[in-house]
Chain A
């Protein structure tokens, strides 16, 4: 994969430019004036990690997602919510080309990642997935030791530094180190569900990604484990950009900075209704469909 434009800035500029009132006003203006599909949050150009332009995702002849235009801001947690079947996971999986592995899957439109077209010829999907990690609904550690689970990715990538240090750093960042430091040689599947999920996050972190995608990461966890993951997400966003798909609207409200609401058209394709700062979307959504969905009037 070609070096992404502006990629070096990912770790070199830890400061976050706060959304100005002007940009929020602009977002409101767009939201009130445009078609639902065109609603987008205004983000400073150098804060944009993903820029989706008229993105449609297909499985064979079936269009699962249509004409999505949205921008994902750096070092923020962006939640994607919407009713079952609206294409949330499909959209998320398009962010790191996971759907390349599905026969018949294809996209139309563009996903720019740091300004680079992710689906352009010559872009290596393996490198895409290293930079853009993913955590799934069910914790899926390898049937290996805790240590090997974290070290696996860096080994494959030919990591030359101190592996024990990298493993420790990754487990610390995933808020799991204190719980496992004395049993790194234990089999990973002996951990609790919440611990396994944090191990999967540590595994994703170990290959030093830029973005972490999370697909319903707490749906199999109890409330305490869920809150731990949410707290962890808040810590992780200092260093990573997070995009999370969740069925749990309270989780989106609690844990995310921005929320994108997808609905489903008559053709069963998901489309973007509204994306807004989470606080705004959950107190004063601009679109009636969003209001009806989050207040339980449909879906």
Chain B
């Protein structure tokens, strides 16, 4: 190969080829990204556990368990703050682009949604305590079902995030219709309970609120699915419609 040079400056016009791919070039970044992912997964597991315990406290009229869910939410909040700081640091120091920046933004948003889901679990725990303080009324059967679907959805959303599976993320969103249907059914049953047994109106309202929180929680899980679609495709989509 000839070594062409600029006749005015004498500089080489064809530079030497770049070094070939260097496996260590991204080692620090990959390590930081893995740490963030691990922490988001840990946050997801904590939130799912909180939701399961809140549901159990509701079903078993266990006020102490509900209290534990309320107290432990501080750890969820702390974990989310830590993730935010980690992501800010990686963005500031590594200037990520393309899929890397999409992944960090998705994880950042997913962590925020998980924190909100944790808040819904706390709200349900509070309602469980209020219901436990009232004369016992059977929990409307749709509510444990909603709680179960929410947890399954949450688990599937976290799996789709780990696997970056657009298909699984879309499946998560599809199940949201089931939650909406159950919520409407709780609404009808609660109204009926209030009309046939006005002395149980307070319990009916508590159950309606519980179902409402679960319905909203499902929307938050769907938002995580949207994050996964963005990560996988670069497209911002509304999966709630």
Residues of A within 8 A of B98 (CB): 282-285, 290-291, 294-295
In the complex, chain B residues 1-35 whose Cβ is within 8 Å of any chain A Cβ: 1-2, 4-9, 13-18, 20-22, 25-26, 29
Given the known interface contacts A60-B2, A299-B18, the answer about A291 and B99 at a Cβ–Cβ threshold of 8 Å is yes
Contact status A84-B15, CB under 8 Å: yes
Is B198 among interface residues, defined by CB-CB distance under 8 A? no
Is B92 among interface residues, defined by CB-CB distance under 8 A? no
A116 CA to B8 CA in the complex, in Å?
Answer: 28
Contact status A295-B2, CB under 8 Å: no
Residues of B within 8 A of A105 (CB): 4
Contact status B4-A283, CB under 8 Å: no
Among B17, B26, B102, B233, residue most surrounded by chain A Cβ atoms (within 10 Å): B17
Among A105, A253, A283, residue most surrounded by chain B Cβ atoms (within 10 Å): A283
A-B contacts, 8 listed (Cβ < 8 Å): A60-B2, A62-B1, A64-B4, A85-B16, A99-B13, A101-B7, A138-B9, A299-B21
Which residues of A are interface residues toward B (Cβ below 8 A)? 59-62, 64, 83-87, 89-90, 93, 99, 101-105, 136, 138, 140, 249-250, 253, 264, 268, 282-285, 290-292, 294-299
Total interface residues on B, CB under 8 Å, equals 31
Contact status B7-A102, CB under 8 Å: yes
Closest Cβ of chain A to B27, distance in Å, is 10
A290 CA to B18 CA in the complex, in Å?
Answer: 15
Contact status B17-A87, CB under 8 Å: no
Residues of A within 8 A of B16 (CB): 84-85
Q: State the majority secondary structure of interface residues on B.
A: loop
Residues of A within 8 A of B14 (CB): 59, 62, 64, 85, 87, 90
Residues of A within 8 A of B102 (CB): 283-284
Residues of B within 8 A of A268 (CB): 1, 17
Given A102-B13, A268-B1, 11 further pairs, Cβ under 8 A = A59-B4, A83-B18, A85-B14, A89-B13, A105-B4, A282-B97, A282-B101, A284-B102, A294-B98, A297-B26, A298-B20
Residue in chain B with minimal CB distance to A65: B14
A interface footprint on B90-113 (CB within 8 Å = 1, 0 otherwise): 000001111111100000000000
Among B2, B96, B234, residue most surrounded by chain A Cβ atoms (within 10 Å): B2
Residues of B within 8 A of A253 (CB): 97
Residue in chain A with minimal CB distance to B11: A137
A101 CA to B10 CA in the complex, in Å?
Answer: 12
Residues of B within 8 A of A90 (CB): 13-14
Other-chain contact of B234, A104, A284, A292, A295 (Cβ < 8 Å): A284
Residues of A within 8 A of B233 (CB): 284
Residues of A within 8 A of B9 (CB): 136, 138, 140
A102 CA to B12 CA in the complex, in Å?
Answer: 11
Residues of A within 8 A of B234 (CB): 283-284
Closest Cβ of chain B to A136, distance in Å, is 8
Closest 10 CB pairs of A and B: A284-B234, A83-B18, A59-B4, A298-B21, A85-B17, A60-B2, A84-B18, A85-B15, A84-B15, A282-B97
Contact status A101-B8, CB under 8 Å: yes
Residue in chain A with minimal CB distance to B230: A284
Residue in chain B with minimal CB distance to A64: B14
